[in-house]
Structure 1
Amino acid sequence: MITDDPIVPHSAGISAYMSGHPATNLAYVKYFGKRPDAVSAQFQSIDSKGFTLSFTDSHGQTGQVRAHFKTPLTKREEIRPVLQDMAKEAETALGLPSTLEGPPPFTAIARAVAAQATTPTPIPTSNQYPTDIFYSVDKRDVAIAVIYYGILAYAASPYNSGWTKFPPASARWVLKVLVGIHTLEAAIALAKTIKRGWYSPITIAKWTLSTLVFGMPSGKKLELHRKQVTGELGPAKQD
């Protein structure tokens, strides 16, 4: 997904959340969409300029309407207040009770979290970095890992008879903890690479395996790539 719109990345989560407010969606359609004959409505998408809803009218016909914001939104924090104000405006004009007041429904929150978790990370149109790429960890981190694993492997082996302060049982416990931590980090890396939607299966496998072996250093490289592509580090340097 390539976009510079600051609201589009949140569209899936907001749309899923608003699915828990059918009465509000219907009020939007009736008032802003000028379809008083609508009997049901569904929130479809949102961007910085407005949002789109689908509806079904009293004759069973379906369609879509667009509700426009008075001024474009620039950040996620502006979405909820604007939607609440527009709901209040529509419901007041239609003589309906307020539907967005009070605590949000749990099911709507759950849908929003699930939808946002599976939405690919958007790529700015100005991005100059490659998206399907793998970064190896630095040679220093490779050397540290080799030495660290080597010491632990020796300490945990039957050949370790002289390290009274670090007996084999303790070394094996440390190895188990390390494997557990790296497995968790690898699972997180796998989830991130899949969610971003930028990588091929081979690249996803490389990131996951690298994080399983090297842990945090590989995770930092993965985060570096995200910042590069999303523009947090500025444009790519030209040779």
Structure 2
Amino acid sequence: MASDSVAERSGFLCTYMSNHPDTLVAYVRHQGGVSEHVTSAQMTAIDQKAMTLVYKVKGKDEKITKRVAFDPPLSGYDEVKPRLLGMKLDAEESLGMIPRPQLKPFQFPLRALYLAPLLILLIYTTYAPESRSHLGYWLRRMVGGPKVVWGIWIFVYVVHVLEALYTVSLCRKYRTGWVDGLLYTGGTLLFGFAIWSDMRQRVQKMRIDSIGKIH
């Protein structure tokens, strides 16, 4: 069984995080789902699967233990810092401690255009005449016939609709507004992950740029 590189350094990490009590309180409130007024918090253990937080709430003396799972689990010690930082920013944004990044105005990622040839090829393969002189005819036969081609369309449609729903949640979370939100959602319906993955990368960049302003 592989050793847990995070658990091996648990003592050091807990000592380090003791210097950031505000961050630990934010973890308890947001990732821990605690709605009460938390007055103090400390990290007592951490491994690749979760961290253990002990906290107190206003008006009570007893300490309460909360185990917050990492989803997905940490791949190793090197992932601790970026993951905890991402969780910190997400918690602070959700709790109103810092302003949440705003994805305005709409930006179309040029890498989405890389998918255009595949989309055009699929359209051509679908609607090319039933003639041996057309490349589309042979492409249809190569993939298994018209039913398979339409099956591909259904698969792409379902995946892109699910991705568009996820994009809607990103638009609401990062306050794009109706117009830009429609552009992002429509873009995802056409180009899929290229749109929403770019949105997430932009948010990460804005978060990184804001770190210097927080401290």
Q: TM-score, normalised by structure 1?
A: 0.49
Alignment partner of 1:145 is 2:107: no
- What residue in structure 2 maps to residue 135 of structure 1? 107
CA spacing shift, 1:132–1:120, aligned 2, 3 Å: farther
Q: Which has the larger radius of gyration?
A: 1
Instruction: Map 1:1-239; keep pairs closer than 5 Å.
Output: 6=23, 7-8=25-26, 11=29, 14=32, 17-18=34-35, 43=36, 45=37, 51=38, 68-69=39-40, 77=51, 80-83=53-56, 89-90=61-62, 120=94, 124=98, 131-138=103-110, 140-142=111-113, 144-157=114-127, 159-161=129-131, 162-163=137-138, 164-166=141-143, 167-196=145-174, 198-231=175-208
List per-residue Cα deviations over 1:153-179 (Å, max 9, x = no partner): 122226144312132221111111011
Question: Which amino acid in the other structure matches residue 204 of structure 1?
Answer: G
The question of whether the paired residues in 1 share the 8 Å contact of 2:40 and 2:56 is answered with no
State the alpha-carbon separation in 2 of the partners of residues 202 and 124 from structure 1. Answer: 25
Q: Which has the higher contact order (CA 8 A, sep 6+)?
A: 1
SS of residue in 2 equivalent to 1:165:
helix
Q: CA deviation at 1:195?
A: 2.4
CA spacing shift, 1:9–1:102, aligned 2, 3 Å: closer
State the alpha-carbon separation in 2 of the partners of residues 154 and 165 from structure 1. Answer: 14
Q: CA deviation at 1:102?
A: 11
SS of residue in 2 equivalent to 1:231:
helix
The question of whether the paired residues in 2 share the 8 Å contact of 1:131 and 1:229 is answered with no
State the alpha-carbon separation in 2 of the partners of residues 229 and 152 from structure 1. Answer: 36
Name the one with the larger helix percent. Answer: 2
CA spacing shift, 1:81–1:145, aligned 2, 3 Å: same
State the alpha-carbon separation in 2 of the partners of residues 157 and 218 from structure 1. Answer: 27
The question of whether the paired residues in 1 share the 8 Å contact of 2:164 and 2:189 is answered with yes
State the alpha-carbon separation in 2 of the partners of residues 11 and 180 from structure 1. Answer: 36
Give the total of aligned pairs.
154
Gap runs ≥5 in structure 1 = 19-42, 46-50, 52-67, 92-99, 104-115
State the alpha-carbon separation in 2 of the partners of residues 220 and 121 from structure 1. Answer: 24
List per-residue Cα deviations over 1:17-56 (Å, max 9, x = no partner): 45xxxxxxxxxxxxxxxxxxxxxxxx2x4xxxxx3xxxxx
User: CA-atom RMSD, angstroms?
Assistant: 4.4
Gap runs ≥5 in structure 2 = 1-21, 44-49, 68-89, 132-136
State the alpha-carbon separation in 2 of the partners of residues 183 and 170 from structure 1. Answer: 20
Identical-residue share of aligned pairs (%): 12
Question: Which amino acid in the other structure matches residue 55 of structure 2?
Answer: V
Q: TM-score, normalised by structure 2?
A: 0.54
CA spacing shift, 1:187–1:71, aligned 2, 3 Å: closer
